């Protein structure tokens, strides 16, 4: 059976859930694409068939409204839960600022929440597209310095500011900052470009990013990461591939779009993913590997979701691949809570074990592989 509509996964949480009623109805509106109406299926006999909503049909519309049988309560962003809804959409590309999402409470025709999606959204065959929204405003950091461009960000860091707030709809290049403690917050429309980060960029530093878009740059530019003490990403949308180095990495309630590649734990001491969504993984979502060198790393995965669309010719696909290569390597993977994955992924794949100490646990129980 061929499915012509594809699921768009919407996840909602809030900084202060008491500010919002339950979700009863969701409305998508596009400026340029038709979302509802009669679809025409096109097939040339070789490539997979595609469905397009015809603008010539009288019922064609640029809105899609879905009413929920059971109203959804919006949870706190720091919890392990979120309101989750899947909407059917034909394959389509929404340009930047083309798609708007509106939420309605039961019996009301005026939305209580409206969000314009500022990034391009591609709904394609073979993959679930996820949009994670955190409603409200992040709690202000004490004495946060508001910066409106990269130059002001550089000045704030150089002057010793610890708490920094980014402006909406602005892209920043984060400068090298060794032996610093930085807490950077902002709306999701604030983007931090980390494509130039190298192993020594944040040596000895402790970094926290909250509620912003992180771009590690295009694939193929290897070894993007830094020898920091620790780095925490809270409620961030993270795009691209990066490498963990010495220290501890924490990802809480994040969306990770690895753009057809994977996350490398590399030399990190520990990496923790909690309530995160992974998209566009290829072969593996997470790779524990250090270029044939010894590594000692603990990987924690809690309440995460993995959506893969990698090519089948890569062989066995897994959420986590472990490649120790050295007998002195110590690799630990701990799964807790409720984790889900695409059908074409196994949970763990171990290659080049070389007698290394590899331990896998599920809710504290050791699993032998």
Cross-strand bridge partners of residue 263: 286
pLDDT of residue 315: 46
d(CA 277, CA 85): 14
d(CA 132, CA 82): 9
Q: In a structure prediction context, what are the per-residue pLDDT tens digits for the chain, which is 369 residues long?
A: 344 466 788 989 888 899 999 999 999 999 988 888 776 766 666 666 666 776 767 767 899 999 999 999 999 887 667 888 988 888 888 888 899 999 999 999 999 999 888 777 888 766 667 788 888 877 766 678 999 999 999 999 999 999 999 998 899 999 889 999 999 998 888 999 998 888 888 999 999 999 899 998 776 667 777 888 899 999 899 988 888 887 899 999 899 887 777 888 998 999 999 989 888 666 778 999 988 889 999 999 998 988 766 544 444 578 899 999 889 999 999 999 889 887 667 899 898 888 899 999 999 999 987
Ramachandran category for residue 240: left, alpha or beta (phi over 0 → left; psi -120 to 50 → alpha): left
Q: Indicate the pTM of the whole model.
A: 0.78
d(CA 325, CA 69): 52
Return the closest-CA partner of residue 24 out of 64, 69, 58: 69
pLDDT of residue 45: 63
Contact 134, 14 (CB under 8 A): yes
d(CA 277, CA 43): 33
Return the closest-CA partner of residue 102 out of 93, 94, 91, 110: 110
User: Which is it for the CA torsion 195, 91, 341, 254, positive or negative?
Assistant: positive
pLDDT of residue 221: 67
Joined tokens for residue 285: 């979502």
Q: Identify the DSSP state of 76.
A: B
Contact 132, 125 (CB under 8 A): no
Please report, to the nearest 10 degrees, the dihedral formed by the alpha carbons of residues 130, 133, 139, 140 taken in order. Answer: 80
């Amino acid at each position: 059976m061929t499915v012509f509509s594809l699921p768009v996964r919407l996840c909602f949480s809030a900084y202060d859930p008491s500010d919002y009623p339950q979700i009863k109805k969701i409305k998508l509106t596009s400026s340029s694409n038709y979302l509802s109406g009669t679809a025409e299926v096109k097939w040339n006999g070789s490539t997979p068939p595609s469905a397009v909503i015809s603008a010539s049909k009288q019922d064609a519309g640029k809105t899609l409204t879905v009413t929920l049988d059971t109203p959804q309560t919006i949870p706190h962003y720091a919890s392990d839960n979120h309101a989750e809804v899947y909407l059917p959409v034909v394959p389509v590309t929404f340009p930047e600022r083309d798609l708007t999402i509106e939420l309605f409470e039961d019996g009301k025709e005026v939305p209580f929440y409206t969000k314009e999606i500022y990034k391009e959204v591609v709904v394609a065959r073979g993959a679930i597209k996820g949009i994670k929204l955190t409603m409200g405003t992040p709690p202000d950091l004490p004495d946060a310095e508001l910066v409106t461009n990269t130059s002001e960000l550089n000045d704030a860091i150089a002057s010793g500011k610890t708490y920094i707030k980014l402006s909406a709809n602005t892209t920043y290049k984060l400068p090298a900052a060794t032996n610093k403690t930085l807490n950077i917050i902002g709306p999701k429309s604030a983007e931090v470009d980390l494509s130039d980060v190298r192993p020594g960029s944040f040596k000895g530093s402790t970094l926290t990013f909250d509620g912003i878009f992180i771009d590690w740059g295009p694939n193929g530019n290897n070894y993007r990461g830094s020898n920091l003490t620790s780095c925490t990403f809270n409620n961030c949308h993270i795009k691209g591939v990066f490498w963990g180095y010495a220290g501890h990495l924490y990802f809480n309630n994040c969306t990770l779009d690895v753009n057809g590649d994977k996350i490398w734990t590399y030399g990190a001491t520990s990496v923790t993913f909690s309530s995160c969504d992974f998209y566009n993984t290829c072969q593996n979502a997470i790779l524990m590997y250090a270029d044939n060198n010894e590594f000692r790393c603990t990987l924690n995965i809690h309440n995460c979701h993995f959506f893969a669309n990698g090519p089948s010719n890569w062989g066995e696909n897994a959420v986590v691949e472990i490649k120790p290569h050295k007998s002195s390597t110590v690799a630990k993977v701990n799964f807790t809570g409720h984790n889900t994955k695409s059908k074409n992924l196994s949970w763990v794949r171990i290659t080049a074990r070389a007698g290394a100490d590899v331990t896998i646990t599920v809710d504290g129980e050791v699993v032998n592989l």
